[in-house]
Structure 1
Amino acid sequence: MVTSPKMKKNIIFIPLLFALLIYISLPQLYVSAEIQDQRFSDVHNDFWAKDEVTQLVEEGIINGYPDLQFRPSVSIMRGQAANLLAGALKLPEAPYQPVFKDVSPKSSHLRGAMATYQEGIFGGKPDGTFGTGDQLTREQMASVIVRAFKLEDTGEDVRFTDDNKISESHKYGVKVLMQHGITTGKEDGSFDPKSPVNRASFVVFLHRAMIQAGMLEKESPISFNKPKTIGDFDPIRFEQQFVEVPITNEDKTFLRSNHYLQLVTKRVQPYAHATDHVYIYGVSGMKSTRVTVTKRELPNGDYFVFTELRNPQRLPIRVDLVQIEKGIKENRLEPYSKYPMKKDIDDTFGFDIATSPIGVLETVSDQGTGQQMIAKSYRSRDLEMKYPNGALSQTRELHDEKIAHSNIVMGPNRVTVYELYSRGYDIVDQWYLSSAEKLFSSNQRMDAWMHESIINYKKRNKWYTANGPYNKMATTIEPMPASGRGYGRNLLLVKEDRVMLLYNQTQERYYEDLLHNSFANLTIFRGNKTYWETEVTSTYLKNLYNFTAPFVDTRFNEQIALFLYNGGKAFGHKDYNEGLRNYANLLVQQQKKGNVSALTKSAYYIPDYFPAKQQVRTHTSMNHLLGGMNILLMAYQEFKDPIYLQTASAIEKAIQLDEKKWIRSDGDIWYKRDPNGQFAGRDYTHLTLEDLIHSYEKWSAVDKTKLPVFERMIKSKAGYLNKNKKGYTTKIKEGLERINMSNLLPAGAEHTDAL
């Protein structure tokens, strides 16, 4: 067959025209679908009733839950259905009538029950109740909707495969509902009359009825913008109880659980440099189970939130802290996990299963750019050991840590969930720090802290609580669980020495916040005393001297006094020297108490430890001794009281008399002097040299005649480190520079923390 040029043109033109028509029509199909942000985290593009739910929510006929979930699979109760129908039909208010036993004038179902009863939509039950808390069954729903919209029998013969299961009183309603196409039944041809109606199904039935009645206009299909999530955000499908926690005025914060939560106690606890707002909630049906939320307000406007779920019962329980925030523009998490953590088994501390916080969440909102440091949750149990003399040692066994944070951003709204899951007989802690400003001024500064924290994971706090941080304790403590996972509040880590140094160098907001928190934690730990006692028994000391917790560790108290002194000066605290005076006074009192090891009347050592419940004199180690002497010299300079100089001079004289005994044959220093005068133990690698340098500096300002003994000991200790290439700390390097002895800097690597 021969095709003419004209026919060829027509053959080409027709397909092009057809394609053009399709092309023109396709955009119209997409334009007709309305694009909007999700309202609820569980009503998304793949949800079968999204259009009906969205329209009825927009009409104000039905709402979601406080956590921005719709919970489509939750059953509708009769009281809820009555309220919804009264609103959808705009039924007139009906006065209260004492018709139903379960509907009082103060009932939340009063309007719905009275209005639908008056209109003949709902009737009561044989027992005289409305059944407000009873599930609405599918056959009941059919009758209710038929009566509500006055639907009539069309005469069409319709049947379900399970007609015989439909109650006689509801057969008419089910039949009419199907005649009008409001229900088509299940895929297998059944109606399933006795099953409860869930929220999604009820909305669809109500929506169809309202469309048929001309009460709503059918809208175009909806397409949602894809929300953004961080973490394993998983909506909870079941009914939950909510109680609001007043964390901020701008956002909503709730506790969420499948158990009823009730506020038991709220209090405000002011500290010198922070204020705690404490909310304690009881959990219904679980005696002694408590949820405590503590908001710690800091002087700069930032705040910590510490959440504790304490469950002494056998049954598991989950409680979530849920935040709803508006005006969110960007949501980005910088995780610690980008830096791999290499762990080891320490001879002293064993294996530490705790790792790091989750990361820094940066939020750009209508208010600006803020950051949060978000922690994992820590599940543990209390351990106690009581002694015959009334003393007590307290630790915790850490069961596990868990990433407990997730969030979803739907348009401008963000839902954040902090999950606390108890398996029973345990405590679950979680914390976060929030700032309307950036915690770190640059990504480089933030990364530097994260990297340092990963490398030095044993000496960086991550498990904070409202009462202080918990860290892996040495294996020589009691009570120690069989798992070896004994954790406690180590006073040396309650004070944030490294953070203080970094704050002085960088003025970063995050370090400032950690320091404010540390000041509060130290106040809490100290209680009503003027000094700090440990709450954990050292089996090493118990075996040596037969004493237990509580006891004063002089090194801990010395370093806390220094920390508060330097921190107080940095922040302009009026009470910056209170800890210094209190600890200096405690040291001075030891001679009068007879708690010293005297060489002469004016030369003596002060022991390392002062037991609270036992009368015993312990050894004196060089690092404790120097630390105490340095505090006394600081107190003398600060307060000009000669008793401080007199006590410091007594320590210096004792060191001078025993100088040759203190120095080992290899140039290192013995660790300790026992009460019987014997020297023993290998000294810390770097710590004592840091102390000797400080002592040299302190005496330089007070009495230079005391310097020779410390200069000789510095040279001996530094020579030992140099010979063995043990390296040095940053403090040693800077200290030697200040005293013009840089030539003594030991060979080897530089360390951030003393070994």
Structure 2
Amino acid sequence: MLHKKKMKGPMKVGLIVVVLSLFGFGILNASANPISPSFTDVHNDFWAKDEVTQLVDLKIINGYPDKQFRPSLEVSRAQAANLITNALELPFSSYKPIFKDVSAKSSHLKGAMATYEAGIFLGKEDGTFGVGDSLTREQMATVIVRAFKLQDTGEEITFKDDNKISESHKLGVKVLAQHGITTGKEDGTFDPKTAVNRATYVVFLHRAMLQNKLIEKLPATEFTEPNTYGTFDTVRHEQQFVEVPLSTTAKTYLRSNYIMQFAGEKTVKHAHATDIIYTYRISGFPSVTVKMTKRELPNGDYFLFNELRNPQNIPVTVDVIQTEEGLSKAVLHEYSRFPIKKSVDETFGYDLMTYPTGIFEKIQTDGKVSQRMIGKSYQSNELNQKYPTGAESHTRELHQESEAFSGVILGETQLSVYRLQSRGFDVVDQWLLASEERLFEDRKQMDAWMLESAVNYKKRNKWYTAEGPYNKMAVTVEPMPKSGRGYGRNLLLVKEDRVMALYSETGARYYENLLYNSFANLDVFRGKSTYWETEVTSTYLKSLYGITAPFVDTRFNEQIALFMYNGGKAFEHKDYNVGLKNYANLLVSQKEKGNIIKVDNESYYISDYFPGAQKVKTHTSMNHALGGMNILLLAYQELNDPAYLATATSIQTAIVKEKNKWIRPDGDIWYKISPEREFSGRDYVHLTLEDLINSYELWSAIDESKLPIFEEMIRSKAGYLNENKLGYTTKIKKGLERINMSDILPAGSEHTDAL
């Protein structure tokens, strides 16, 4: 209470020292003993740092959730009333229907009622308190004089603009000046009608409290220099904040200059992850939404996918703010330590993307280390093309990849900012992966992944969304923007094959998390179907057969089934073979549906693509034929269904009967056979050899009589690669070792990914 602050003598001084020390700001906190700043915009050069620091420590005034004080913001009458109530510890006054703009549920109730009862704020002539009105300098003078019961000393004081001071506030301005709480402006004016900002109000309040001996004057404050990360800037203007209940270990807020309204929460369960989706709308523009998807993983880690969707012609910036306590040190390990050498090819053109920002490593005061992988932001617009069949093709035009993360450490508090900046008519995505553990076992392991991501930047995911990763699409898809920056969800990259291999080798937590995320993304992409259809039209297939999206790509489905099978076994999922079974059943059914290229009554190839809307038969490429056959053999081993073996045998006998047609004169393999049984196209460099080795291994376990054809084709393909020094992949090297054919390893360099 007020009388406690007016104690006399040694007891009072001792109590103040103890209290201020508890608040982290004591008499010992002089310039020789710097303290950590509480705000990013209150620093050693700030003119009101001492007053702000002391009143904040005494909990008379607060900052904002983003660790800013915003000293230049105007103070409203309601805010001024709350501050005076805190400073004087005014007793609580229950609601009375006095003011039209103060209800029983109003956030301004406490200050408005308390200061009214104390005779400090009397309200306005129109019957309102004026809660949202800015407090002018002359009004401030009057309320401070009333609050602290300052008396007229009789000294005559006038200002050059005395004629501009309202009659009702002339006395307040004079008395405030008599007591030295204000000296006016440097030009001799008082500037009575100007609104008071937060810094000025705090200084005047502080001076009044000093004069009334409610507080002691403390030595000058000196702050330590905070550590910043990225391009950290303060946002000085007024901002709106909404707290998002993402985590119990960190506070999360949305910050924007627009009012944000909560629009709903939804939980979606995947087989091995759970999505909690929070949606917010921008007030006045209901179609502008912020969606935050927290993907909780079985090991306690989580992805956070942030999306700002803005179909309006207005610029909107929304920042995701997170604050965490108990930090002693942090470091940002950036991918940019490993420069990317950009290249352009005829198939994909120029890829604008690079890699994520990096890993933010936090060391707690108890010595525990946690890590967070932070992605960049991606600004794009959606492209949709409709067809007469009612089907659609979906891509995006990427406008910009940019750094989204910045941060600062204030004492033991870490502030992280993730910026979503929209120019209008666009979508902005940003993601992060948070773990309370190390994502990588050591620095060497982390650096190896970052280097690999730089070298293979075209085939490593970095633009993650809650619906799956986006990557550069071949220029032969539609819709393709004039800029050539067409991006989409490529099913071969939604599944994380390379990550699966690295997880098998290292067991690193980061790879584990990417695999959990991949399983969820495949679940989202597939929807209610038992197989996967592309969402992008290939102009190559459209020109050949009139096929548009959606359609089944057999290679995509084969690779996904294999990925889910291997991944499921690695994670001991009960449903690990469901994808394998579903796809094998789909392949078996294609003979009856007519999606085959017949060699004879017992032998046929399954077409590469199954159109969704068009009745047409497509070609079969060797890599697709082998991939489908291999899946059928694996499914037969796993589920023992004779239909799988019968279909695989039909494909094998077709290859045997047309072996001499498949092998080109130079030893390479033709790429495809048309529905008219014509062979054409240059084969992939490495991919088909990987498939042939896999076929050899699978038939070895089932029927060795089928092996000669595959050995002959392996030796022919490997000989072609060797003669042209085209190298080999790690899969080829290890595969040839397993089947005792290492002697035919092609000359040239080793590749991580097949060409």
**What is the match of residue 158 of structure 2?**
159
Please name the residue that 1:106 is paired with.
Answer: 105
Deviation at 1:331, TM superposition (A): 0.4
- Which residue in 2 is equivalent to 1:4? none
Structure 2: unaligned runs, 5 residues or longer: 1-26
For 1:41-440, list aligned pairs within 5 A.
41-366=40-365, 368-440=368-440
Equivalent pair of 1:241/1:259 in contact (CA under 8 Å): yes
1:443 aligns with 2:446: no
Deviation at 1:32, TM superposition (A): 6.4
Farther off after superposition, 362-371 or 265-274: 362-371
CA apart distance, 1:178: 1.3
Shift, 1:118, TM fit:
2.3
What displacement does 1:715 show?
1.0
How big is each residue's C-alpha offset from its partner over 1:638-669, in whole Å with a ceiling of 9 and x where there is no partner?
Answer: 11111101000000111111111111111111
Structure 1 SS opposite 2:599: strand
Provide the aligned length of Structure 1 versus Structure 2. Answer: 728
Give the structure 1 partner of residue 513 of structure 2: 513
- Partner Cα distance (2:745, 2:213) in 1: 90
Query: Which deviates the most, 250-259 or 606-615?
Result: 250-259
Tell me whether 1:744 sits opposite 2:744 in the alignment. Answer: yes
The 1:29–1:88 alpha-carbon spacing in structure 2 relative to 1, beyond 3 Å, is closer
Alignment of 1:679-718 (within 5 A): 679-718=679-718
Q: Distance in 2 between matches of 1:42 and 1:691?
A: 61
Residue type at the aligned position of 2:677: G
Q: What letter corresponds to residue 322 of structure 1 in structure 2? A: I
Instruction: Sort the Cα spacing of 1:584 and 1:257 in 2 relative to 1 into closer, same or farther, 3 A.
Output: same
Contact 2:282 2:289 in 1 (8 A): yes
Partner of 1:6: none
Give the Cα–Cα distance (whole angstroms) in 2 for the partners of residues 479 and 187 of structure 1: 64
Structure 1 residues 95 and 530: alpha-carbon distance in aligned structure 2, compared to 1, 3 A threshold: closer
Partner in structure 1 of residue 19 of structure 2: none
Structure 1 equivalent of residue 602 of structure 2: 602
The corresponding residue for 2:627 is: 627
For 2:415 and 2:29, locate their aligned partners in 1 and report how far apart those are by CA, in whole Å: 30
Does the CA-based 8 Å contact 1:34-1:220 persist in structure 2? Answer: no
- Say whether the 8 Å CA contact 2:29–2:221 is kept in structure 1: no
- Label 1:30 to 1:308 Cα distance change in 2 as closer, same or farther (>3 A): closer
Return the alpha-carbon distance in structure 2 between the equivalents of residues 505 and 672 of structure 1. 35
Is the CA contact 1:331–1:364 (under 8 Å) kept in the aligned structure 2?
yes
Q: 8 Å contact 1:558–1:631 — kept in the other structure?
A: yes
Matched, 1:497 2:516: no
Q: Distance in 1 between matches of 2:93 and 2:494?
A: 63
**In structure 1, C-alpha distance between the alignment counterparts of 2:477 and 2:31, rounded to whole Å:** 71
Q: For 1:262, give the aligned amino acid.
A: Q
Amino acid in structure 2 at the alignment position of 1:195: T
Q: After alignment, is 393-402 or 122-131 more displaced?
A: 122-131
> Structure 1 stretch 214-223 or stretch 485-494: which is displaced more?
214-223
State the AA in 2 paired with 1:307: N
In the TM superposition, residue 34 of structure 1 has moved relative to its aligned partner by 5.2
Contact kept, 8 Å, 1:33 with 1:222, in 2: the verdict is no
1:599-645 Cα shifts (integer Å, max 9, x gaps): 11110010000011111100000000000000000011111111101
Partner AA of 2:723 in structure 1: K
1:494–1:522 CA contact under 8 A, matched in 2? yes
Amino acid at match of 2:689: L
Shift of 1:448: 0.5
Q: Secondary structure at the match of 2:294?
A: strand
* Equivalent position amino acid for 1:288 in 2: S
Distance 2:95 2:536 in 1: 64
State the Cα deviation string for residues 460-495 of structure 1 (Å, max 9, x = none). Answer: 000000110000000000011111110000000000
Q: For residues 304-326 of structure 1, give each alpha carbon's deviation from its aligned partner in whole angstroms, at most 9, with x where no partner exists.
A: 11110111111111111111100
Is contact 1:312-1:424 (8 Å) kept? yes
What letter matches 1:382 in structure 2?
E
Paired residue type of 2:641: D
Per the alignment, residue 466 of structure 1 pairs with: 466
Cα distance in structure 1, aligned partners of 2:294 and 2:89: 43
The correspondence of residues 526-605 of structure 1 with structure 2, limited to 5 A, is: 526-605=526-605
SS in 2 for 1:499: helix
Deviation at 1:161, TM superposition (A): 2.4
Cα distance change of structure 1 residues 550 and 408 upon mapping to structure 2, 3 Å threshold: same
% identity of equivalent residues: 66
Amino acid at match of 1:325: E
Task: Kindly provide the CA deviation profile for residues 556-614 of structure 1, in whole angstroms up to 9, marking residues without a partner as x.
Answer: 00000110011111110111111110000000000011111111111001000001111
1:607–1:620 Cα contact (<8 Å) kept: yes
2 CA distance for matches of 1:592 and 1:44? Answer: 76
Deviation at 1:95, TM superposition (A): 3.6
The corresponding residue for 1:640 is 640
Equivalent position of 2:678 in the other structure:
678
Partner of 1:602: helix, strand, or coil? Answer: coil
1:476 and 2:476 equivalent? yes
8 A contact 1:381–1:425 mirrored in 2: yes
SS in 1 for 2:242: strand
1:30 CA displacement: 9.3
Secondary structure of the residue aligned to 1:519 is helix
2:649 and 2:677 mapped to 1: Cα distance?
Answer: 20
| Contact in 2 for aligned 1:277/1:295 (Cα 8 Å) | yes
SS in structure 1 of the partner of residue 140 of structure 2: helix
Matched-pair contact (CA < 8 Å) for 2:30–2:219: no
Distance in 2 separating the partners of 1:119 and 1:704: 98
Deviation readout 1:658-709 (Å, 9 max, x if unpaired)? 1111111111111000101111100001100111111111111111111111
> Distance in 2 between the 1:110 and 1:751 partners?
69
Show the counterpart of 2:8. Answer: none
Distance 1:338 1:32, change over 3 A: closer
Alpha-carbon distance, 1:33 to partner: 5.5
- Across the aligned residues of Structure 1 and Structure 2, the Cα RMSD in angstroms comes to 1.3
* Contact 1:77–1:132, Cα closer than 8 Å, also in 2: yes
Tell me how far apart the structure 2 counterparts of residues 91 and 435 of structure 1 sit (CA, whole Å): 45
CA distance in 1, matches of 2:427, 2:186: 47
Structure 1 residue aligned with 2:665:
665
In structure 2, how many angstroms separate the alpha carbons of the residues matched to 1:559 and 1:257? 43
Q: Which runs of 5+ in 1 are unaligned?
A: 1-27
Find the aligned partners of 1:529 and 1:30 in 2 and give their Cα distance: 66
Distance 1:571 1:119 in 2: 67
When residues 35 and 612 of structure 1 are mapped into structure 2, their CA distance, relative to the original with a 3 A threshold, is same
Change (3 A) 1:267 1:624: same
- 3-state secondary structure, aligned to 2:114: helix
1:543 counterpart SS class: helix
The 1:272/1:164 distance shift into structure 2, 3 A limit, reads: same
The answer to whether the 8 A contact 1:33-1:220 is kept is: no
Tell me the secondary structure at the aligned position of residue 306 of structure 2. strand
Q: Deviations over 1:295-354 (max 9, x none)?
A: 111111111111101111111111111111000011001100111111011110010111
Say whether the 8 Å CA contact 1:375–1:432 is kept in structure 2.
yes
* Partner amino acid, structure 2, of 1:176: V
Q: Read off the aligned partner of 1:185 and give its amino acid letter.
A: G
Mapped to 2, the partners of 1:272 and 1:722 lie a distance apart of 44
What amino acid maps onto 2:266 in structure 1?
A: R
How far 1:155 sits from its partner (Å)?
A: 2.4
CA deviation digits over 1:162-183, x for unaligned, max 9? 2222222212211221111111
C-alpha distance in 1, partners of 2:120/2:635? 84
TM-score (ref. length: structure 1): 0.95
- Give the AA of the match of 2:701: A
What SS is found at the alignment partner of 1:35?
coil
Check conservation: 1:34, 1:221, Cα contact below 8 A. Answer: no
Give the aligned residue type for 2:488: G
Does the aligned pair in 1 maintain the 2:598–2:604 contact within 8 Å?
Answer: yes
TM-aligned CA deviation for residue 31 of structure 1: 5.4
CA distance in 2, matches of 1:504, 1:104: 62
3-state SS of paired residue (1:400): strand
Matched residue of 1:533: which SS? coil
